[in-house]
Amino acid sequence: MRVILSLLLGAGLLFPAAARAQDPDVIPGLKKAAEAKGNVSRSAEGTFYFKWLPQPVRSFEKAYFRLSELPKGKHYLTLGLMKKTPGGVVLTIMTDPHLDGTPDEAYVGAGKTLAEADRAIAARPEMSKGAITPELRQCFKEAMEDLRWELGLRQ
């Protein structure tokens, strides 16, 4: 019985909301931190809050979170992971549209600069879409933990 209970808890089947729920202070904390640093972009498409992580995540050199608030009440949390190569920059973006700490989609783009890599994804998202591998899920989890530390939510 104890083994079955631990398996159900681990898989999030018994208490799915508790197993997958985002820390309720992460989103307001991210918005506050972005506002304090001036890392907010407002446009007709929505409001976007950015937070760079000071420590690299795994084999990536830079990482940032972006919270997108779109006009129709939709919210997305995005993790961008950047890696420099001899040919330029490779950007991997993972999206968490449910704000539950679990990425649903991944996109990969390349360019000479970060902006070019981002434009490559935006120009052809269907061609840039990739699989969410276990390694990428782990990167997302580690980056979320780093974000919590940065926001002072974990002591």
Residues 101-134 pLDDT 10s: 899 999 999 999 999 999 999 999 999 999 999 9
3 state DSSP class of 7:
helix
Does residue 131 lie within any of the structural domains? yes
What range defines the domain where residue 132 resides? 22-150
Does residue 142 lie within any of the structural domains? yes
- Answer whether residue 74 shows pLDDT above 70: yes
Read off the pLDDT band of 6 (50, 70, 90). very low
* Residue 26 CB coordination number (10 Å): 19
- Answer whether residue 42 shows pLDDT above 70: yes
* pLDDT at position 56: 83
Does residue 133 lie within any of the structural domains? yes
Give CA–CA dist 154/73, Å, rounded. Answer: 29
* pLDDT at position 58: 87
% the chain with pLDDT above 90: 71
Residue with tokens 């631990």: 6
Mean pLDDT of 56-83: 92
Does residue 50 lie within any of the structural domains? yes
Does residue 65 lie within any of the structural domains? yes
- Answer whether residue 23 shows pLDDT above 80: no
- Answer whether residue 15 shows pLDDT above 70: no
pTM: 0.80
**How many domains does the chain contain in total?**
1
Under 8 Å CB-to-CB from 16, ≥6 apart: which residues?
Answer: none
- Answer whether residue 37 shows pLDDT above 90: yes
Give CA–CA dist 71/8, Å, rounded. Answer: 38
- Answer whether residue 36 shows pLDDT above 80: yes
Does residue 1 lie within any of the structural domains? no
